[in-house]
Amino acid sequence: MKLEQKEKALLFSETMIPDIFFAEHLSQLPGDYLKIYMYIIFLSKYGKDIKVNDLSKKLNLPIKTINDGMKFLENQGLIVKKTSGFIIVDLQESTLNQLYKPNLTPSKETIEQNSKNQQRAKAIDHINNMYFQGIMGPSWYNDIDLWFKKYNFDDQVMIALFDYCYNRSALHKNYVQTVAEAWGVNKIHTWNDLDLYDQKREKLHLIKKDIAKKLGKHTGLTQYEEAYIENWVLDFGYDMNIIEIALKRTTLKQNPTFDYINNIITDWHDRNLKTSAEVEAFLEQRKKQIKDTKDLKAQVTKANHEQREYQNLDFLYANVGIQKGDINGKWYFKYSFKGVWT
C-alpha cells in the first residue's frame, strides 16, 4: 500500500511545542482548552485557517466551549486575534521581550543593593531547585522580584512562602500571590515576623476549636463564624479568657447567635477593655449600677405609696365626722362623710 504525499508528511513530521509552555502555561489550561491550543498549533504549522466551526467538529466540542477557550488562550497570551483570524504567539520571543530590561539603576544604588541582591539570588536559586526541579519558568522570576519589592520580604520569608504553598500542593501563581498578599497585609517582612504570625495563627486555630466545642458545634464552624473569631483574636487582640466570659453570658439567652456574641465582644472593644480583668471589673461595676438603679426605683415606689397613704388619711380627716353620746347609759357613735350623717 502506497502512502500519499500528504499522509507521509503527517506520519514523519512533528509539531514542536516550546518548553516555556510546559513551565509557564500548562498547569493553567483546563483540558478542553489544552486540546484547542494543541490543535491550533498543528493547524498553524500547515498554514491552515483557524475557524471555530472546524475546531468544534474536529475536536467534538460545543461552539461555546471553542469560543470560551479561544478567549481564555488570548487572555493567557498564547494566541492573538487579528483581522484575518487568530495566530499563535511565539512564546520564546515573547518571554525574552518580557525578561529583557535595560539596566537603568545607578551604579551607587547597585553597590548598596549588592548584598541584598546576592541573598535574594540565592533564595531564588533554592526555590528553583527545591520546588521546581531546576526548571522554574521565567515569569516566576519576575513575580518573585515583584514580591520582594512590593512586600519587602527577606530571603528566608520568600523561601518560606514557596514552602508553605508547596506543602499544600498549591504551587500555582494565584495561590502564591494570595498568600503573599496576606503576609504583606500582616506586615511580615522578616523570619521573626513570620514566626510571630505563625504563633498567632496557631493560637487562632486552638481558639476556634475550643469555641466550637463549648458551643456544641460538632460539625465545625461556618466561614462567617470563623470570620467573627478572627476579628476578635487578630483585630481586637482578645484571648480565649475574654471570649469565654462572653460565651458564659450566652447561657442567659435562648439560642444565642454569633451576632449576639459579637455584639457583646465588640462593645467591650469599643469601651477599650483589653484584658479579662478589665472586662470582669466592668461587668461587676455594671451589675452594681443595675442593682443601685433597682434599689432606687424600689425606694421611689415605696415613697410614692406612702405619700398616697398620707394623702388618703388627710382626705379622711377632712371629710369624715364623728359624734358620740350617751342614751340611757349606752354610748353611741355617729359618722358623717362630706356632711352626710349616718
CATH number at residue 177: 1.10.10
Is 150 found in the same domain as 84? no
CA angle 221, 224, 230 (to 5 degrees): 85
CB within 8 Å of 240: residues ≥ 6 apart: 206, 207, 210, 211
Residue 107 lies inside a defined structural domain of this protein: no
Is 291 found in the same domain as 255? no
| Tens digits of pLDDT across the chain (342 residues) | 454 555 555 555 666 677 667 666 777 778 888 888 888 878 777 777 778 888 888 888 898 988 898 888 888 777 777 776 676 766 655 555 554 454 545 555 655 556 777 888 889 999 999 998 888 888 898 899 999 989 999 999 999 999 999 998 888 889 999 999 999 998 999 999 999 988 888 999 999 999 998 888 888 899 999 999 999 998 888 999 999 999 888 877 777 788 989 999 999 999 999 999 999 999 998 888 888 777 667 665 665 555 565 555 555 555 555 555 555 655 544 545 455 445
Is 168 found in the same domain as 233? no
Length of the chain: 342
Is 287 found in the same domain as 264? no
* 63, 181, 223, 226 from 185: Cα distances, Å: 43, 6, 20, 19
Is 207 found in the same domain as 141? no
Burial class (CB in 10 A: 0-12, 13-18, 19+), 315: exposed
Nearest C-alpha neighbor of 160 from the set 197, 134, 135, 133:
197
Task: Dig out the grid coordinates for 103 from the structure.
Answer: 539596566
Residue 39 lies inside a defined structural domain of this protein: yes
Residue 204 lies inside a defined structural domain of this protein: yes
Pairwise CA distance, residues 84 & 49, whole Å: 9
Residue 285 lies inside a defined structural domain of this protein: yes
Residue 106 lies inside a defined structural domain of this protein: no
Single out the residue in 170, 189, 208 at which a domain terminates.
Answer: 189
pLDDT attached to residue 100: 47
Pairwise CA distance, residues 220 & 210, whole Å: 11
Residue 101 lies inside a defined structural domain of this protein: no
Residue 109 lies inside a defined structural domain of this protein: no
pLDDT attached to residue 37: 80
pLDDT attached to residue 277: 93
Single out the residue in 189, 221, 244 at which a domain terminates.
Answer: 189
Residue 142 lies inside a defined structural domain of this protein: yes
Burial class (CB in 10 A: 0-12, 13-18, 19+), 142: middle
Is 327 found in the same domain as 308? yes
Single out the residue in 274, 298, 320 at which a domain terminates.
Answer: 274
Number of domains in the chain: 4
pLDDT attached to residue 78: 78
> How many CB atoms within 10 Å of residue 227?
12
Is 22 found in the same domain as 85? yes
- What is the distance between the terminal CA atoms of the chain, rounded to a whole angstrom? 145
Is 326 found in the same domain as 285? yes
Is 83 found in the same domain as 17? yes
| Residue located via cell numbers 515576623 | 193
CATH at residue 47 = 1.10.10.10
Helices marked H in the chain: 5-12, 19-24, 31-45, 52-59, 63-75, 91-99, 107-131, 138-151, 155-167, 173-185, 191-214, 223-230, 240-249, 258-270, 276-319
Task: Dig out the grid coordinates for 82 from the structure.
Answer: 487579528
Pairwise CA distance, residues 162 & 129, whole Å: 12
Domain boundaries, position 66: 5-96
pTM for the model stands at 0.49
* 45, 79, 200, 335 from 212: Cα distances, Å: 60, 51, 18, 77
